[in-house]
Amino acid sequence: MRTIALTEETRKNVLENLLKRSPSSYGKFEDAVAEIVENVRNNKDAAVFEYTKRFDGADINAGNIKVTKEEIDEAYEQVDPSLLDVIRKALVNIREYHEKQKKYSWFDSKPDGTMLGQKVMPLAKVGVYVPGGKAVYPSSVLMNVVPAKVAGVEKIIMTTPCGKDGKVYPSTLVAAMEAGADEIYKVGGAQAIAALAFGTESIPKVDKIVGPGNIYVALAKKAVYGHVSIDSIAGPSEILVLADETANPHYVAADLLSQAEHDEMASAILVTTSRDFADKVSEEIEGYLKTLSRSEIIRKSLDNYGYALVAETMDEAIETANEIASEHLEIVTANPFEVMMKIRNAGAIFIGEYSSEPLGDYFAGPNHVLPTNGTAKFFSPLGVDDFIKRSSIIYYSREALKDIHKDIIQFAEAEKLTAHANSIRVRFEEEDANE
């Protein structure tokens, strides 16, 4: 891993290089996606079945698009019972954490008869997209379904592509059932997103669509935004480890590689106050690379976006972490809690030597769907907030409105909105005339 001394200039260069990973040159797929979305919007099921035949090679129709009780039973038979055990243990933690994020309606009344409040309600229907392909991530199913379930969403509709044989991965089905998905449909790609956004004869229209996907899925989500809500579009994974010389280079190197293995666009960055420590971590990385199964991906990812950055002071190191605003941030220093207080931007913060990042991916409870690519400066982890909405509540008594009605009339007239002023005025016409 390249080691660089942090200066104003090197920091700027690193930040610029990282931002190259932003999704771009999407243009060339946009027309194809727009056509799929329009076709599904207009021709519904017929279009969905046709695309599924063309792209997934599967014969899907109104009779077999929905995953059946029998298929689910079959999936349970095929999944390793000890994996099911682990899924259930993880679910306890994930639910417990998200329960703490719940919001409640409130109101506040005053002696003059006014009442103001906020009514919090879950979205009615949510679509969860689960990718097919080679990588099967049941953990991602849990992380997308549980916050919707905890929020109280009535209906969680999952869609995922099936194989040529019309089957869905057993671990995907089992994770979906354990997490609480209500219905599962065998459709993937842009056609699945369009079906969820507009509804078809078989697939219900939803209010929001979440979940990761390839570029077609991402563009389709962008295209239907406004008709429905969507989650933010995830970029490649990232880890930043903030460490001083007290950290264990053997552990830190392993943690950096755990994110670098995701794909060639992933980024693994060490920011440390010790050049000696940076060198040790680089050595450890070389050692691991000889044994890990995904070492080819890791090597490319480290060459592209891997750095060991050496800072003069811990404050400079912290400032760099805040500027990069990493998806995952590990703090492995002598006083990690003190450092955490100074962190302003990160998706998830892992504190101390035994809070290794994969603990958060699978087990601890907080969501693993996190803001990437510097967006932790303004975005948050997926959570219960993403599946609720608020309505303001306003109640004024006659007396309360009377007290302030002239103020409202004046404000409305200053904005030249005379019908606004009129709607208040008509309620007190007689009294005001008699004044």
Q: Nearest to residue 270, comparing CAs of 280, 259, 250, 256?
A: 256
Residue 327 designated active-site:
yes
Residue 46 interacts with a second copy (CB under 8 A): yes or no: no
Could you give the residue ranges of the DSSP H alpha helices within 290-362?
295-305, 314-324, 336-341, 357-362
- Taking CB under 8 A as the criterion, which residues in 119-148 touch a second copy? 119, 121, 123-124, 135-139
Stretch that binds a second copy, among 58-66, 158-166, 249-257, 312-320 (CB under 8 A): 249-257
Is 58 or 376 the residue whose CB approaches a second copy more closely? 376
Q: Which residues contact 205 (CB under 8 A, 6 or more apart)?
A: 125, 196, 197, 198, 199, 228
Could you give the residue ranges of the DSSP H alpha helices within 204-313?
215-224, 249-260, 275-289, 295-305
User: What's the distance, CA 98 to chain centroid?
Assistant: 14
Is 44 or 52 the residue whose CB approaches a second copy more closely? 44
Residue 108 interacts with a second copy (CB under 8 A): yes or no: yes
State the nearest-atom distance from the C-beta of 49 to a second copy, in Å.
Answer: 26
The pattern of x and - marking residues 56 through 95 that bind a second copy according to CB under 8 A reads ------------------------x-xx--xx-xx-----
Please provide the DSSP assignment of 34-51 as one string: HHHHHHHHHHHHHHHHHH
C-alpha to C-alpha distance for 251 and 359, rounded to whole angstroms: 13
The answer on whether 410 is annotated among ligand-binding residues is no
C-alpha separations of 239 from 17, 158, 172 in Å? 15, 29, 26
Is 67 or 126 the residue whose CB approaches a second copy more closely? 126
Residue 427 interacts with a second copy (CB under 8 A): yes or no: yes
Is 25 or 293 the residue whose CB approaches a second copy more closely? 293
The answer on whether 305 is annotated among ligand-binding residues is no
Q: How many residues bind a second copy (CB under 8 A)?
A: 116
Tell me which of 178, 261, 327, 357 is the catalytic residue: 327
The answer on whether 129 is annotated among ligand-binding residues is yes
The bridge status of strand 238-243 relative to strand 183-185 is unpaired
Residue 399 designated active-site:
no
Amino acid sitting at position 292: L
Residue 244 interacts with a second copy (CB under 8 A): yes or no: no
Extract the annotated binding site for Zn(2+). 259, 262, 361, 420
The residues carrying an active-site annotation are 327-328
